[in-house]
Structures are given as C-alpha cells and as structure tokens.
Amino acid sequence: MAKQRKYIFITGGVLSSIGKGISAASIGMLMEQRGIRVTMIKMDPYLNVDPGTMSPFQHGEVFVLDDGSETDLDLGHYSRFVQNARFTAKNSFTTGKIYDAVIRRERAGGYLGKTVQVIPHITDEIKRRIQDASVDSDLAIVEIGGTVGDIESLPFLEAIRQMRTEEGAANVLFVHLTLVPFIAAAGELKTKPTQHSVKELREIGIQPDVLLCRSDRKLPKEVKEKIGLFCNLPGDHVFSAVDVSNIYEVPLYFHEEDLDEKIAEKLGIWSGRPDLFRWREVVKKLQHPKGQVYVGIVGKYTDWRDSYKSLSEALLHGGVANDVQVNMVYVDSEEIEKGKNHELLDKVDAILVPGGFGERGIEGKIQAIEFARTQKIPYFGICLGMQLAVIEYARHVCQMKQANSGEFSPNGKENVIDIIESQKLLKETGGSMRLGAYPCQILSKIKNETTRAFEAYGRELVSERHRHRFEVSHSFRRILEEKGLVISGKYTDPHTQNELVEMIELSDHPWFLGCQFHPEFLSRPLQPHPLFIAFISAAKKHKGNVQ
C-alpha cells in the first residue's frame, strides 16, 4: 500500500519580505534531517510566466536550475537548505503560468465547450501542479508568495483550502508566518497585526495549525497563549521566529523551539531526531571566524542586495571553508567610471565582477578588472565578469584597442565576445540564452603547471549552470592564447562541434580566473563550491602578503 504523502502550506501575513522563504527552507531542512524525503514548491502570484524577464530591482536575482528553468530566488534558499531534493521547472510556478496553461487548453478544446472559471479550472490546475511536483517525496512544503489579503493570492489560497478536504486533515498542515512588533514607546509586543492576519485567512476558510511569529525577541509564554486564544489554536502551536545574525541559525532556533517535533506530531510522521552537528559547525564558524577578508563586488545592482543573493551566500560558504569572515564591499561600477570609488578597490583583498546584462557600468567594471590584473589582486569573474576580463586582456595586453562585446557593440570589428553559431541556432529555434546545466572539460595542466581550475575542482569534468547569450569568439582565441590567456575550461557543442570557452585564467597572477557559468547556484553551506573556496583562500593569502 502506497504511503500517504503529507503537505505543509506556508503563508505570510501583515507585510511582504517577512521571511517565508527562509522559514520554509528551514522547516524543509529539519524534516529532511529527520530522514524524510522532502520537496519544496514555490507558487508566485504575479502574472509573469517566470521571473526571467523581470528586473533585479523588482524581484531580486533569477535562480537557474539544471533543466534551465528560471525561477524565484526562494528556490535558491531551498537548494541551500535541503540537500537531497533535486528541483526542476515543476517546483516553481506563477499565476501567469497557470492561466497560460488553462487558456491554451481551452483554445485547444480541452474543456469540451464548458465555461472556464477560476473555480474549478484555475484551482484544479494549481492542485494538479502541486501533486505533480510532489510525486517522488514523502513531504511537500509549499510556499505561497505574496501576503494574505492580496487579491492576486486568492486562487492559490482557495486551491490549498480544497486540498485539505481532498487529502485529509491529517495529511495537510497550514503554517502561517506573521509579525509581532515590539513598540518601544509602549514597551510591549503587539499581537493585533497577527490577529488581523489570521482573521483574513479564516474568512477564506483556512484555519492555521501553526503560527510562526516574526519578532526581534522571543515571545513570552503569556503572549503565545494570548495569540493562540484570539487565533483559535493552542498556545503551544505558536512559535517565535526571532531575528538572527545569519539565516543559517533559523533552523537551529526552530529546532530549539521544538517546531519540527510539533510538525511531526501534527502530521503523524514517525521519524528520528535530526542530526544537526554539521549545521551547527557551519553556524559556529560564521559566528566565530578566525580571521576576515574583504571582497570587492563590482556591479551595477549594488543598492539591491537580493540581486546577488546566491553570490553573497556562496562567498559566505567559501569563508566557512577557510574559517574566515567574508566582508562584502559593494562597489558601484558607474561610480568608478566617474573617477570615484577607487579607494574602495585599494582596501579589498580580492575583487569579483558578477554576471549581468546591459551596457550600463561596463567600463567601470573593466577598469576594476585591469586594476586587479595589474596590481596582482585575486580576481574572480562570473559570466559577464569573465567576458569583461577577456575584453580587458584583449585591449591592454593584446593591443586590440576596439575590443568589445557584440552585446554592446553589435557592428564592432574586434568583438572578442559575440553571439556565435550555436547561439544563433538557439535564437532561431525560439530561445535566447544558454540556460541550465552544461558539462565543462577542465584542462589539468598548462606548460607542466596545474591550472587554477583543476586545483579547485580536482577533476577534469564538471557540470555547471549557465544563463547567458554571448560567448568568447573563435576568431580571436589564437591571439588571446598566444599573449598568455589560458583557456582552462571548454564545452564542445554537440550541434556544431565548436569548442565554447567555459573558463579562463592567467598563469602569471596569484589568482585570476573567470568562468562563463554561475557557480554560485551550486554552492551549499555544507558543500561550498570549489571555486569560492579557492577564491577566498586566495584572498586570505593576499591579505597575509600585504600585511
């Protein structure tokens, strides 16, 4: 007899950005550590089909999965916390994707002439996708984006209300994250926002089973009991979700509150206690590092840190592996173009230029790369950061004064970065980017010296996730290599048999490496990415040398 699948639905109230993603990921991590097969699902209420075309200022970074899906940044949180789950396009969907599927089916006659309505057709599609994404799991944790009370979220909330009846009350748990602010003038924690938020949920037929109360301090027992009384649930089903110094403390705090034990009890899950030893070691190293390094991140989204969420987390993971605190110094590349911010580059132990699109701030990034190369400061270029490193090298070492990218100079005669044959084919077939996981063949040695890439990975074949349109042009590779640019990672396109450049480095530099892919998407606190370990190690050595 098949085991009954369990569901946890996580909603948020009072205000946005309250921490549903981290809370969902933390619960997922705790339940996985209890030996349960967990999957995570994010449902977003906006009408965009996916966040791929959304501005980083609007929605933060776009997190890319192995299958090329462009998803919400919360999938990044899930991936970093839940170690064994493998996420695909099924684990993330939006209102736009739901309506698109229903309308296409209606146009194809799939509803046999029926009047297509939000209930049951939209809600049925939502339920079908939740169940489809949950097939290989014992427990599906589903986060509903937005805030309770928003009109956009109503179809999702109605769908999960129906699922409780259809799946059985013993198999569905509603967790609601809310806010309990401390009002300094009154010297009190105020529960009214939580009461109103739960009231909104109950009006649409959902009674939360567990409340997570976000606050800057632990809730006293009497406050929990008051909230329980007014929200129609026992006081021991109300849990504190306090502000912490780093997100990796959240599951440890939830465990101390016995949240995972209560969830297991409510869902009738028999499991062991979680083994959190390695996770505690990560948190300990983050709280009490033996040293520190400063990394300059040169970009144009520096005022909106969620644009670089996976990147900043991967740098922290690299710091944990090297037992140092990584201090991120965000440097606006447009300010460098204006002759400002150079003093910030003088003070950092390493420089990183991340991925991005568009011409704004490009010359400032190239100046920062030249500074890192000539001053022998460890440099890491990711995606666009690698492409700009190639442009900088072509201009200043190969004397190609007009070196540029086809992205910024479509008709340029020295475009060392350009759209090549395979990308043109991709565009003709309806795509616009190389997305998802591709293999990378790593060169182990160059002139009898081990490459930085091989030193980091320790193997010759890896798989990494991509999100880009442009590649290093074949036309200029010979002159670049003759002048000392090392191509240490390649991918052979099966359609054209062309070799695409995946990694570049410099042999006469302490640590100068660029990669066409996004290694930050694969970094985990328990498994830091090899390139970030190597980069922070180089920053640590550079700091020691300059001191």
Same fold, 6-281 and 289-546: yes
Confidence bin at 428 (pLDDT 50/70/90): very low
Q: Does residue 431 surpass a pLDDT of 90?
A: no
Beta carbons of 352 and 298 less than 8 angstroms apart: yes
Alpha-carbon gap, residue 477 to 481, rounded angstroms: 6
Q: How far is CA 128 from CA 125, 156, 204, 355, in A?
A: 5, 12, 21, 35
Instruction: Give the tens place of pLDDT for each residue, 200-229.
Output: 999 999 999 999 999 999 999 999 999 999
Q: Are 409 and 415 in contact (CB under 8 A)?
A: yes
**Max Cα-Cα span within the chain:** 76
Give domain 289-546's CATH superfamily. Class I glutamine amidotransferase (GATase) domain (3.40.50.880)
Higher pLDDT, 305 or 310: 310
Q: What is the pLDDT of residues 236-289, one digit of tens each?
A: 999 999 999 999 999 999 999 999 999 999 999 988 889 999 999 999 999 999
The two structure tokens encoding residue 176: 């609601």
| pLDDT confidence of residue 495 | 79
**Check: CATH 3.40.50.300 for 6-281?**
yes
State the Cα–Cα distance between residues 291 and 320, nearest whole angstrom: 11
Place of tokens 């906006």: 46
Sign of the Cα torsion 358, 360, 363, 368 reads negative
Instruction: Identify which has the larger pLDDT, 107 or 421.
Output: 107
* Residue in 423, 431, 446, 428 with CA at minimum distance from that of residue 500: 423
Q: How far apart are CA 209 and CA 234, in angstroms?
A: 9
Q: Where are the domains of the chain?
A: 6-281, 289-546
Alpha-carbon separation of residue 284 from 170, 252, 279, 280, 323 (angstroms): 37, 12, 9, 6, 10
Residues marked active site are found at 383, 518, 520
